[in-house]
Structure formats: C-alpha cells, structure tokens
Structure 1
Amino acid sequence: MIDRPIRIALQLQPQHMDYATIRRTASEAEDLGVDIIFNWDHFYPLNGEPDGLHFECWTMLAAWAEATSRVEIGPLVSCNSYRNPELLADMARTVDHISGGRLILGIGSGWFERDYTEYGYDFGTAGSRLDDLAEALPRIEARWGKLNPPPTRKIPVLIGGGGEKKTLRLVAKHADIWHTLADADGVEHKLGVLRGHCEAIGRDPAEIEVSVVARPGTRERLHTAGARLFTVHVGGPDPDLTELREWISWRDETNK
C-alpha cells in the first residue's frame, strides 16, 4: 500500500472576475500553503450570469506556470473534445516545462452543451464522448514519448468521472489521480469497482490517488473511505479563501 498524505487543492473557477483578481487569488492560495491550484475548461460561466466574465483554461495555466513557483497546477478538468489529442499533449508538455514540472493533466469527456454549440464542436452523446476519450488517452501518452524535449517528468493524469463501465476502466488503465463528485458511500462503492478494473489489468489500485470535492462536515468520512486529495471551489466576483484556510489547517493537523 502507498501511504499518502492529505493534499488540499483549490479550484479557482475563472468566472465573474477580472484576471487581476484571478491572479491575486492564485498567489494568495499559494502563500497559504495549498498543494494544487486548478481551474476548469469551459468557455462560459457555469452558474450566475450566463454571459458573465470568463477566461480560457490553457492560456491561463501557462500564465499561472510563470506566476507561481511551488504549487502544482492543472485543469479540473480539460475537455477532451476541444483539442486534438496530440495538440493537447504538446500543450501540457509546454506548460509542464514553463512550470518546472508542476502540471497535472486533468481530463474528462465533456458535458457542457453550450461550450460545444457555441464553439462548433460535435456534442454527440455521453457514450460517444467517452469513446473519444478512450481513443485519445493512448494518443496523448504516445505523443509525450515523441516530443523534443520530452516532459520534465511523467505528467500525472487525473481523470474525472464515476461511470463504472467505461470511466473507471479508463482510470484503472491511465490515471494517477481519480476525481469524483461522489459522497463517502459512493466513493467506497466506486473504489470497489475500480479495484476490479485494476485487478483485471494487473495494476495496484493504491497507485491511484483519490480526489474529492471538499464538502464541510464530510472530511472524516471521505478520508476513511480513501480520499486523500480534497478540492475547495471558489469563483467570482469576490473569491473568499476562508474555507480553504480551514481545510489547510485540517490537512496540517491530520498529516502530523
């Protein structure tokens, strides 16, 4: 078994605030001691004013790679549908180098239909998007082996989602981190499914870090269920890091 410490992440949702606020908040979170800062990969806000302020994922990650010095950074999660897999691999490799080896490639199959229709992508079905993700992951891995220079490290892959037949099979085969929205009972159940997929391919499931949403009042149960990465969500217009401070304090006390 891999003995993993608790890690705390911030998903800094790039909606309803100007970039100066986003950059300032990322810097404050790093100073507080957060382990990872995520954004997300959408083109419009997911809540609040539908046409409110919003910024693009990967250009922001490149800027964060220069603006931060310690934290890992990445998308939670990058939508597989929006970029050719080889291009995404190259983008990830480039941000990996800019950051000095601090990128996590979070990836998922996509779900927000407005992104697709407004930007001209084929929405397809949930099943077809998952099939596309399954086809893309080995292409991304293969491209990393061809790039010059190669990534600075084995870029950690985070796969988001909880589908038991397709998504968790992809997690078993490709992921270093599995991110789920499930509660403690759901995490326990889905980890059982994930262990079955790992057994089928001869992989130790302990190699996969379990990532969850940091929900107040659930931390102990989620930790007992196997979660080790907890993500606090904040957005605009006035991001408040009070909850993040509380989770960081819990991490430090529990990891002693």
Structure 2
Amino acid sequence: MQDHHSSAVSRRDLLGMSTVALAGAVPLAVYPGPGAPAHAAEQVHGHGHKPGVTPPEDLMREHGVLKSVLLVYREGIRRIQRGEQVPGQPLHAAAQVIRDYIERHHEHLEEKYVFPRLREAGRLHRTVGILCQQHKRGREITARILAATRHPRASAHQRQALVSDMAAFIRMYEPHEAREDTVVFPVFRKVTPAGEFARLAEVFEAEEHRRFGQHGFTTMVHKVADIERALHIHDLSRFTPAKTPSRHRHRRPSAR
C-alpha cells in the first residue's frame, strides 16, 4: 500500500514550539499548563470543549523538547571531537529526558493512539512501520548513551562509540520528527472523527499529568534549559551566523 504524502497539509497543522527560544527567558509562573494553548489552538466545534492543545499540537511541541536535546547532543559531539572532556552529566541528563519524556511518553502515545488509527484507515502503512522500527532502534541507542555517560571517564574507543551513537540518533530523529509533523499528524487528524479527536486531547493531557505532574511540559522545557545552561548553549543569539563582509565588491568597469 502506498503512502499518501501528497495529502493536503494546512499551516495550522504545522504548529510547533522551539524550546530553545523559551529556555531560561521566561519564569515558570507565566507558562501555561499542558492543557492551555501555547499558540492559538483551535476549538473542537460541536462538543462543548474550550480551545486547547490538540493532539497533533501536543505531540509537535514535545518534538520541540526533542529538538533541543538534539542540540545538546551536537554540542557533546563537538566537544569530544575537539579533545575536550566528555560532558557526562549534561549528556546523561539529556538522555534521561529522551528516555522518560520522548520514548516512554511521547512515543507511547503515538504507538497506542496515532499509528493504530492510521493503520485502521489504511493510510501510511509503510511509513508507520518505519517509524515504529526507528522508535525501537532509538531506545537501543539511548540505553547505550545512558550507560556511556554514567561514567564519563572513557577510553578513546568509548568516546568514539558515544559520538557515533549521538550522531546516529540525530541523523535518524531529524527526518523522523519532520515526517511526523508534515505528513503523519495531518493525515491522523484527517482520518480521526471529531469526537474521537476531542477525546484524545483529554487522554493526552491526562497521561502527561499522570506521568509528570500538572505542568509536565513546562517542567521538561526547564529541565532542558538547565542542561543548555550547563553547556553554555542556552543563549539563542549564539546560533545566529555572523554577518561577513562581501569579499568581492561589484565595481563599474573603468572607461578606456
């Protein structure tokens, strides 16, 4: 069965949240809880629900946490490859966020509610299979990263293995989350009846509260921000390329 990558994707389906932009800049008290909209979320009409975080938006803002951890991994790779000491504690904390929030919560919701709905609708069968396989492979890599960063004093071979694992995780999850955000979640929304869609919003919120407390998402944003601060990569402006002067100025050809 062929995947339907040509399905219409509206701009509102592409809502996401960059945790780097939030990290360390806003005090905890001003953050909304997981049930409040981070952006202008849509109202589910006809069911008496107030505007809130829809299931795709909930999953996509969790991808924002994942993106920030990928930046932490990149910084770890950069330092190790420059011969610096392995930043074991920050990398270990980042891998714990992946294991607890992304693998045991975010991916659990996808595998229990999103992927079965797509299979029932006969949509994206091959893509869903690959995503599930990548979830499994990602958990294997995370387990190795956790083990390697528990005792950061490592041999050259162990350092290289850690770099390879973090690089492999980044390489897999960047297209993984992009495919989910731009293809999987919009199709999931399209094939899910409105009543079921509204119910799942409540299920997702309740599950996050059960696992991480009333402000689970906010807690994770701040946890990742603390890791970024420990590595001195929390300042968003550090990611802005410097403006370089043009080496070749256009001059009028001289008259002969």
Q: Which has the larger radius of gyration?
A: 2
Q: Would you call these one fold, judging by a TM-score over 0.5?
A: no
- TM bin, normalised by shorter chain, reads under 0.3
Normalised to the residue count of structure 2, the TM-score between the two structures is: 0.24
Normalised to the residue count of structure 1, the TM-score between the two structures is: 0.24
> Of the two structures, which has the highest relative contact order with CA contacts closer than 8 Å and spacing of 6 or more?
2
Q: Which has the higher strand share?
A: 1
